[in-house]
């Protein structure tokens, strides 16, 4: 969870693990350097995530071999290493403490995944992780609060798994508890759907307007005098409203200032394209 400032002689011991020889084992890495619980770091103290929760977190985030997993404040690297070893993903750990970074690299070689993972010594608040498909976190609530704008700016559909702590008032899309092993929270970055939209039927003149407000993955607003309620899952949007006595459902994909949608009224459905109005 944290980034420890290691003393120079420990770094010297670890330099031999930066490019381990063939046959390097976990025991070799741990003899060179063993992180200590509650050791001081830049923003938080270092505490390891429980081993039993690592796989469950990655399963909750639906990690596959197609993913690029970033662990922010990666500590001893166990989440990134597990993502590569158990799920075939590529991964990047960003960690402030140089000793933990070298230790993580050593462990990656020992576990046979050094070709699929990278550990970077850096400040997470000054790092670019915009190409992530999955982000994992074990950070304190204050640090998570500072990080939240960067997480919400990630591409829609990016999956986030946070150990022990949620992301403020952002309601999770999933949650797991394990007695004695802690909790984990799952989030999917939503597209930005707030604004005034005009939905126009494909190949037709029929149109209607919807004003949407957004709080994380929840949307609300109005369509004329009718109240709109719905949600986002990444760039997938789903909302409904009443038009007279008829219920209208809208299911679509948000792409910048455009929504490609299916509008369902009763037993019938039709294709619509919505465009977001700019400021007047």
CATH of region 8-188: 3.40.50.150
* pTM, two decimal places: 0.88
CA 179 to chain centre: 24
Phi/psi for 165 (5° steps) reads -125, 140
Handedness of CA 95, 97, 98, 99 (dihedral sign): negative
Q: Give the H/E segment covering residue 53.
A: helix 51-60
Checking if the pLDDT of 20 tops 50, the result is no
Q: What is the pLDDT of residue 250?
A: 98
∠ CA 90-92-94 to the nearest 5 degrees? 170
Give every CB contact of residue 81 below 8 A, 6+ residues apart in sequence: 91, 104, 107, 108, 111, 113, 117
Topology annotation, domain 195-276: Lipocalin (2.40.128)
**pLDDT of 231-243, one tens digit each?**
999 999 999 999 8
d(CA 175, CA 57): 9
Could you say which DSSP state residue 122 is in?
A: S
Give every CB contact of residue 129 below 8 A, 6+ residues apart in sequence: 70, 72, 92, 94, 135, 150, 154
Which pair of tokens denotes residue 233? 């899952």
**pLDDT of 213-267, one tens digit each?**
999 999 999 999 999 999 999 999 999 999 888 999 999 999 999 999 999 998 8
d(CA 52, CA 66): 23
Extents of the domains making up the chain: 8-188, 195-276
Q: What is the pLDDT of residue 45?
A: 65
């Amino acid at each position: 969870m944290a980034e420890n400032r290691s003393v120079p002689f420990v770094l010297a011991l670890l330099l031999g693990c930066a490019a381990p020889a063939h046959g390097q084992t976990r025991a070799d890495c741990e003899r060179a350097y063993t992180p200590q619980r509650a050791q001081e770091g830049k923003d938080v103290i270092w505490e390891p995530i429980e081993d039993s929760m690592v796989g469950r977190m990655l399963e909750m985030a639906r990690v596959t071999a197609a993913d690029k997993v970033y662990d922010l404040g990666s500590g001893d690297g166990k989440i990134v290493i597990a993502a590569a070893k158990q799920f075939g993903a590529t991964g990047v750990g960003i960690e402030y403490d140089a000793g933990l970074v070298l230790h993580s690299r050593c462990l990656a070689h020992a576990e046979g995944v050094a070709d699929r993972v990278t550990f970077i010594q850096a400040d997470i608040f000054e790092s670019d992780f915009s190409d992530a498909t999955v982000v994992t976190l074990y950070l304190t609530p204050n640090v998570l609060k500072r990080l939240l704008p960067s997480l919400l700016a990630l591409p829609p559909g990016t999956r986030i798994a946070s150990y022990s702590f949620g992301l403020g008032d952002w309601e999770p899309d999933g949650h797991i508890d394990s007695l004695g092993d802690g909790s984990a929270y799952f989030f999917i970055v939503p597209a930005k759907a707030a604004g005034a939209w005009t939905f126009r039927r494909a190949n037709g003149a029929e149109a209607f307007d919807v004003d949407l407000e957004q709080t994380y993955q929840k949307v609300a607003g109005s369509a004329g005098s009718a109240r709109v309620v719905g949600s986002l899952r990444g760039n997938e949007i789903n909302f409904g409203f009443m038009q007279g006595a008829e219920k209208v459902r809208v299911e679509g994909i948000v792409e910048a200032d455009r929504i490609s949608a299916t509008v369902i009224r009763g037993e019938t459905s039709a294709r619509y394209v919505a465009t977001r109005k700019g400021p007047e």
